């Protein structure tokens, strides 16, 4: 309930609007844009790659409005798990929330693993002789340190996150400022022939690949929704933290992308032997302010990468906790630390999977890893959650909604189409990797696991459905102004 205290012995509402927005922005603007600008350029084949960040922002904002309404109405720990449980329990019992947790236990730490891959990648700028094995050990050490720091109370984490957010903003602004001091419009806005040939299949394959990379860079706008039970006045704070963080990061990304393209020739970003293909922000600083400035900002970028992994595991570890507490996932995940009140097993498990994903990314390809993790999350989280919003509006019209989506259902439709484009083009953008097939196989395995679990718990389809409408309704149903 918005503004209400959590149950005795549960989470404590201590995270305000500034800290909530900082948590989202730290997760969104981690190492992502610093390693994906070259990937975006490669996908589009030129500086028109800025289209990918614009498209990603539109999709993030449309999807963010879905999260905003659901999060404000049902501010429980677990995010999508809560929304899917409430929407689909009438027909499929606990299947959908179980499948969400099943996939989230994979895609959330895989997202974090890409941040650690980027961390090691930029560390290579400061230590050019860093070998494969040394880089692997450094990355694993970073993951261990994150888990150790998270092994404490939320009040300490909120303060740490605010400091990391300031470092993140500083590093990004320095790169943008450096690019502005030596900006070349000719480099940034000279496009190759047929760059915007909308009749070409090549353009749309590149667009889908760029949209995938773009939405990956914006992922994190929903981090505080996973922490709904720890947010002060969530009915107001959650929607604002989501919308403010998307708009803020959108502005930063566009300035960063255009500024980088105005300093570094885009051909350098597609050359695997050029430092611009792995540490493009460092290349910008070296080109404009010299090697010393590049080294300094690279250190800040490393801190930013660390902060994104930190906040991602902070929010993600809450997902299996709420599911297990409501008997929709393995029961040991329902335990909280006796003193600091955080989910111990969820944090430990995601730390281990992050380490495995990091090693996979280091020994394969970062772009492919992004494609795989994005595809895994589309069906159960992205698409099902959009449907859940409409289902809940129909089934529970009196549900208390402190925030209602602007221009409903237009943002839902835009988000649904965007996610379908990402999923439909996944195999073409990762030839030979079969991300669609792998995602379907993982989903099918989750269905088998659910049936076995349902037999043990004696729930639908091996027992009765349990309908629980946990969140408050209005006494009457007056029309609320859109976007309140």
Evaluate whether residue 428 is within a structural domain: yes
User: What pLDDT was estimated at residue 11?
Assistant: 60
User: What pLDDT was estimated at residue 60?
Assistant: 95
Provide CB contacts within 8 A for 472, sequence distance 6+: 1, 399, 400
Burial of 383 from C-beta contacts in 10 A (0-12 / 13-18 / 19+) = middle
User: What pLDDT was estimated at residue 448?
Assistant: 94
Radius of gyration of the chain (CA): 22
User: What pLDDT was estimated at residue 480?
Assistant: 44
User: What pLDDT was estimated at residue 195?
Assistant: 85
Evaluate whether residue 401 is within a structural domain: yes
Question: Smallest Cα–Cα separation from 407: which of 21, 57, 168, 65?
Answer: 65
CA distance 259 to 255: 6
- The SS3 assignment for 231 reads strand
Evaluate whether residue 181 is within a structural domain: yes
Distances (CA, A) of 352 to 345, 347, 474: 11, 9, 43
Evaluate whether residue 53 is within a structural domain: yes
User: Cβ atoms within 10 A of the Cβ of 268, count?
Assistant: 17
Question: Smallest Cα–Cα separation from 16: which of 3, 28, 27, 29?
Answer: 3
User: What pLDDT was estimated at residue 298?
Assistant: 93
User: What pLDDT was estimated at residue 315?
Assistant: 72
Q: Match 């959590």 to its residue by tokens.
A: 6
Q: Are 346 and 318 in contact (CB under 8 A)?
A: yes
Burial of 291 from C-beta contacts in 10 A (0-12 / 13-18 / 19+) = exposed
Evaluate whether residue 450 is within a structural domain: yes
User: What pLDDT was estimated at residue 256?
Assistant: 92
Evaluate whether residue 469 is within a structural domain: no
Evaluate whether residue 473 is within a structural domain: no
pTM over 0.75: yes
Q: Write out pLDDT tens, residues 210-262.
A: 999 999 999 889 888 877 778 888 888 999 999 999 998 888 889 999 999 99
Question: Smallest Cα–Cα separation from 311: which of 2, 38, 15?
Answer: 15
Evaluate whether residue 407 is within a structural domain: yes
User: What pLDDT was estimated at residue 230?
Assistant: 80
Question: Smallest Cα–Cα separation from 26: which of 424, 270, 304, 355?
Answer: 304
Q: Write out pLDDT tens, residues 97-155.
A: 899 999 988 988 998 999 899 999 999 999 988 888 999 999 999 999 999 888 875 55
User: What pLDDT was estimated at residue 482?
Assistant: 44
Q: How far is CA 364 from the centre of its chain?
A: 21
What CATH code is carried by the domain that includes residue 380? 1.20.1740.10
Give CA torsion, residues 25, 28, 33, 39, to 10 deg: -170
Question: Smallest Cα–Cα separation from 220: which of 64, 384, 437?
Answer: 64
Instruction: Indicate the number of domains in the chain.
Output: 1
User: What pLDDT was estimated at residue 153?
Assistant: 58
Range of the domain at 194: 17-457
Q: Write out pLDDT tens, residues 54-75.
A: 999 999 999 999 999 999 998 8
Long-range contacts of 165-169 (CB under 8 A, 24+ apart): 165/22, 165/23, 165/25, 165/26, 165/307, 167/300, 167/303, 167/304, 167/307, 168/25, 168/26, 168/29, 168/30, 168/303, 168/304, 168/307, 168/308, 169/25
Q: Are 214 and 57 in contact (CB under 8 A)?
A: yes
- Mean pLDDT per block of 10 residues along the chain (484 residues) reads 40 78 80 88 91 93 95 81 88 91 90 92 90 92 91 65 77 92 92 86 90 91 81 89 91 91 93 88 94 93 85 78 81 78 86 92 84 90 95 92 92 97 91 89 93 89 82 54 44
């Amino acid at each position: 309930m918005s503004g209400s205290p959590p149950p005795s012995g549960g989470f404590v509402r201590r995270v305000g609007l500034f800290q909530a927005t900082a948590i989202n922005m730290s997760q969104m603007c981690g190492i992502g844009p610093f390693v994906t600008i070259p990937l975006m350029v490669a996908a589009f084949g030129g500086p028109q790659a800025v289209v990918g960040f614009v498209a990603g922002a539109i999709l993030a904002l449309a999807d963010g409005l879905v999260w905003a309404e659901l999060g404000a109405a049902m501010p429980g720990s677990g995010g999508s798990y809560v929304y899917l449980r409430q929407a689909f329990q009438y027909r499929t019992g606990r299947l959908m929330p179980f499948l969400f947790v099943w996939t989230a236990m994979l895609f959330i730490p895989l997202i974090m693993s890409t941040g650690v891959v980027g961390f090691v990648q930029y560390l290579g700028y400061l230590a050019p002789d860093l070998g494969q094995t040394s880089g692997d050990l450094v990355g694993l050490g970073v993951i261990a340190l994150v888990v150790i720091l998270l092994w404490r109370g939320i009040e300490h984490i909120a303060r740490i996150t605010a400091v990391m957010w300031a470092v993140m903003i500083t590093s990004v602004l320095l790169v943008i400022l450096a690019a502005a001091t030596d900006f070349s419009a000719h480099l940034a806005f000279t496009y190759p022939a047929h760059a915007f040939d909308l009749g070409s299949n090549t353009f749309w394959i590149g667009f889908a690949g760029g949209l995938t990379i773009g939405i990956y860079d914006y992922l994190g706008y929903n981090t505080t929704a996973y922490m709904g039970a720890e947010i002060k006045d969530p009915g107001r704070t959650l929607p604002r933290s989501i919308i403010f963080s998307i708009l803020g990061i959108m502005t930063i990304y566009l300035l960063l992308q255009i500024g980088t393209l105005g300093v570094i020739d885009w051909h350098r970003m597609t050359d695997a032997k050029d430092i611009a293909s792995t540490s493009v922000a460092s290349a910008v600083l070296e080109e404009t302010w010299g090697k010393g400035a590049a080294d300094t900002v690279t250190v800040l970028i490393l801190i930013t990468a660390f902060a994104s992994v930190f906040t991602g595991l902070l929010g993600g570890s809450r997902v299996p906790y709420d599911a297990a507490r409501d008997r929709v996932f393995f029961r040991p995940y329902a335990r909280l630390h006796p003193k600091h009140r955080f989910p111990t097993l969820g944090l430990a498990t995601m730390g281990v999977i992050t380490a495995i994903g990091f090693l996979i990314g280091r020994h394969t390809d970062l772009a492919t890893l992004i494609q795989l993790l994005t595809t895994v999350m589309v069906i159960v989280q992205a698409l099902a959650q959009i449907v859940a919003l409409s289902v809940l509006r129909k089934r529970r019209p009196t549900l208390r909604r402190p925030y209602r989506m602007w221009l409903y259902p237009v943002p839902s439709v835009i988000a649904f189409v965007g996610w379908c484009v990402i999923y439909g083009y996944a195999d073409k953008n990762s030839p030979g990797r079969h991300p669609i097939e792998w995602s379907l196989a993982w989903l099918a395995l989750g269905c088998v696991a659910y049936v076995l679990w349902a037999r043990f718990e004696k729930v639908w389809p091996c027992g009765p459905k349990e309908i629980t409408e946990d969140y408050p309704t209005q006494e009457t149903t007056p029309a609320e102004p859109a976007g309140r």
